[in-house]
Structure 1
């Protein structure tokens, strides 16, 4: 296995507040070549790296993310205190624009950028997708858009976006016309929805399985044909597989 076969789910979430700059940067510093992050929009349609529509779990603040402007969100702290205590009490929220700078600092890395259904419902497909791809264009060759909402990805495809990865939390219909039109590079599947007898090598699209937490579990999925696994423990997983990445050499 190589580093490319592992994806840092919401960054290195095991040790840092998920979907924040520090979680994503530390995942890359640990050797991850792939990071995954989620996108919700602010009231003024600015994309932020954030999973939940509600701010309570991450920020300890009542309200929905799209009820706050970008300027207001930047005054909040994404500390995930319920899980991590006060260790990251002053940790800021992360605008998507910051990820462009981060990936420029790690030119060997890729990002899987998930457009969340809640913001698509709140703002409409065009508003959300346009806001995301306009920010990511400088690093478009290293960003794969993903979403449970395939129509959003098809819209991005019509707007000229090139790289995609569909995502499912149920066993998908592999003959789905939208999926065939999208031609994803990989399909994300929840490990719990994959039939026990499924041979992933026989499917029409490469399959990436989430959420994987142990060395043995990862080995089992690779043996079943998964091309990659997504994990909250990317640093530990890379260490368990004795994988190291020399970013200095990659950028030389």
Structure 2
């Protein structure tokens, strides 16, 4: 592989951990991704009814646990006994994988001090509990690994709030790839910009330049990652952690 291609190869972010092989946002998924050697990991946080940060993408438990329950109306103790085995996706391969607290995820990351965690504050909790409370609770729990963490959200007001009240690096998950969003990025100057690759309709132009690093998500192939790297993406986010790592390492071995 040429030096030019090596420079264009983005780093991988494990999306919700090694979510291709384990239920998403769970301790087995996080541990697996880190043990495979990923240096960046991303997971989602919602607050329980008793204001405890929990690793959850959805505000309901229908998809991951098969339960018609609203997670934000349940206490952390109630959520702790829910099994999120994702039976539809894994065909009952797993039997007792629980919803982690953010504190449990911190314990995992403490044993991998070189890893960076992108912690996404979800809109459902921001609406239900307010930006100030969610930010305060998450920042408190992450304090032991603060230097490893980047707080991100699709809620622009929440990212502004985090920038003002916390020392954490921040990232904005873009709603679109438009001139209006570009202007908002210039005003905010986040450390990271996250964008779904499907929003990048122009496949040739370089990504907006700025003080941020680009992280493109829903990436599923080495060729796609290389193409994004040529456009300026420093990171690509994927659930196919083992497969993508294998492909990246095979390329790097050719240097």
Q: TM-score, normalised by structure 1?
A: 0.90
Is the deviation greater in 51-60 or in 2-11? 2-11
Q: Which residue of 2 aligns with 1:190?
A: 196
- Tell me if 1:35 matches 2:25: no
Q: Which residue of 2 aligns with 1:157?
A: 163
> Which aligned segments of 4 or more residues in structure 1 are displaced greater than 6 angstroms?
none
Q: Which residue of 1 aligns with 2:216?
A: 209
Q: Which residue of 2 aligns with 1:174?
A: 182
Q: Which residue of 2 aligns with 1:108?
A: 114
Question: 2:142 pairs with 136, 142, 146, which one?
Answer: 136
Secondary structure of the residue that 1:195 maps to in structure 2? coil
Deviations 1:161-193 (A, max 9, x none): 2301111131142111xx345432220111011
> 1:217 Cα shift?
1.4
Q: Which runs of 5+ in 2 are unaligned?
A: 1-5, 251-255
Question: 1:93 pairs with 85, 93, 99, which one?
Answer: 99
Are the counterparts in 1 of residues 182 and 208 from structure 2 also a CA contact under 8 Å? no
- Tell me if 1:45 matches 2:36: no
Secondary structure of the residue that 2:195 maps to in structure 1? strand
> 1:158 Cα shift?
2.2
Following the alignment from structure 1 to structure 2, what is the Cα–Cα distance between the partners of residues 14 and 142?
A: 24
> 1:145 Cα shift?
0.4
Following the alignment from structure 1 to structure 2, what is the Cα–Cα distance between the partners of residues 80 and 73?
A: 15
Deviations 1:139-162 (A, max 9, x none): 111100000112112222222223
- Tell me if 1:235 matches 2:255: no
Secondary structure of the residue that 2:161 maps to in structure 1? helix
Q: How much is the aligned-residue C-alpha RMSD, in angstroms?
A: 1.9
- Tell me if 1:220 matches 2:243: no
Are the counterparts in 2 of residues 32 and 235 from structure 1 also a CA contact under 8 Å? no
Are the counterparts in 1 of residues 10 and 226 from structure 2 also a CA contact under 8 Å? no
Are the counterparts in 2 of residues 146 and 166 from structure 1 also a CA contact under 8 Å? yes
Q: Which runs of 5+ in 1 are unaligned?
A: 244-252
Are the counterparts in 2 of residues 31 and 235 from structure 1 also a CA contact under 8 Å? no
Are the counterparts in 1 of residues 10 and 236 from structure 2 also a CA contact under 8 Å? no
